[in-house]
Structure 1
Amino acid sequence: MQTIRAVGREAASKKYDLLSAMMAHALAGDQHRQRLVLRLMALMTARYNWQRDELTVGQREIARLWCVDARTVKRDMARLRDLGWVEVKRQGARGRVSVLGLNLERIMLDTRKEWVNIGEDFVSRVGGATVEPISQVIPFPRSVASVPKGTWGEACRRLADEDQGLCDSWFGALVDGGIVDGCLTLIAPSRFHANYVRTHLLDRLIIAVRRSDASVGHVRIEIT
């Protein structure tokens, strides 16, 4: 999958690819998804600093752009943060608004199922050659007993939908250690495995867990 960057000769085309992917994702969903994605696209095209990955705009300005009230702004921005599409880079204080960033990789992951609706040339261009019909996907062999259940099991299914190979290599080896006080503990088979997940995959893992169970706010990786 291509990496969206705001610099270089192909920066402009990659921005259009990102917006096209978001558009296709919105049109394939219900009116609630369409409205939410359209509102984010309005912020991106009007106020987002692509080079610095910064969205610095107050709720009052957002409400004016979206033609909604402040309550709707709070609700939809919270939804975008829960999706992992919008992230807080610096919390606002003393009258200053928060500085937000966009997780462009997360957006592309969440929209990849709809890339084919744009066309095969788009799928090939953005690096989606691995997106295939479900019937052609051959999962890594795994015994039924090893498939986790509950919140972690649901999160694993989401992670496998995103990238089966990555799930089999790294997430599949994590063992559910239970949820206590809103924190899910996962047991890794080795220190190296735990460190790799913490360093490279934790954000993706947390999003999958939160989408599976909104009551889980943290994930801790431990070793056996």
Structure 2
Amino acid sequence: MNNQLLCLLQLAFAPVGAYSYSEGIESLVETGAIDSEITLKNWLENSLQFGAVRVEAAVVVRALRAAKIGDLTALNYWNAWATATKETEELRLQSWQMGRTLVRLLLDLREVKLSRRESPVASGLTTIVKEFVESASNQCNFAIGFGIAAANWQIEEEAAVLGYLYSWAANLASAGVKLIPLGQTAGQQLLLDLQSQISCTAQEVLKLEDDEIASCSWGLALASMAHETQYTRLFRS
């Protein structure tokens, strides 16, 4: 159990470049739609309740299940499905960059273990990851990579979803701290306030059937499109 918890923490905060993206928050701060801890909290809560991150969390679950049984057809299907849900090029490229980085990190960590003659965890997943990366032509969505990594480290579904949602919230809370700006204490209080909604969203996502996966993310799409042409930016486009 302790090893799984440590693996979850490592996965949730893996160096995949998430810190360089604001997912539209930068453009919302510029227009004044987000200008305080309260408005940032409202945006993140609404996103957890209705937004695209719910869809991504559902894809994490399906990728984890597919990776566990070596179902490359399902991985490719859900990867293409996840790509189709990205409403802007900026969001799509972000997901691909983070996903590629994560699966390559997973493979690199395995090679280190092999070079040390240590027994890697879930050895069958290496072939799966390699074949998937090749078939996906490096267009691996982050939610898919996260699910594969969770399966590789034998992380349970509920823990994986909680880790995914929390790492997403922590990254955007950090973006808000820099952009509004907020103090670090306010940022940490925001994450504490979001815990209940994160837990609720995780439970809902775990119960979703495939045809129930949906979101209302037009606000994110508009913010992302505005960010692409924003004159001055701290975050990556």
Provide the TM-score with structure 2 as the length reference. 0.25
The higher-RCO structure (CA 8 Å, 6+ apart) is 2
> When you count helix as a share of all residues, which structure comes out higher?
2
> When you count strand as a share of all residues, which structure comes out higher?
1
Which one has the largest radius of gyration? 1
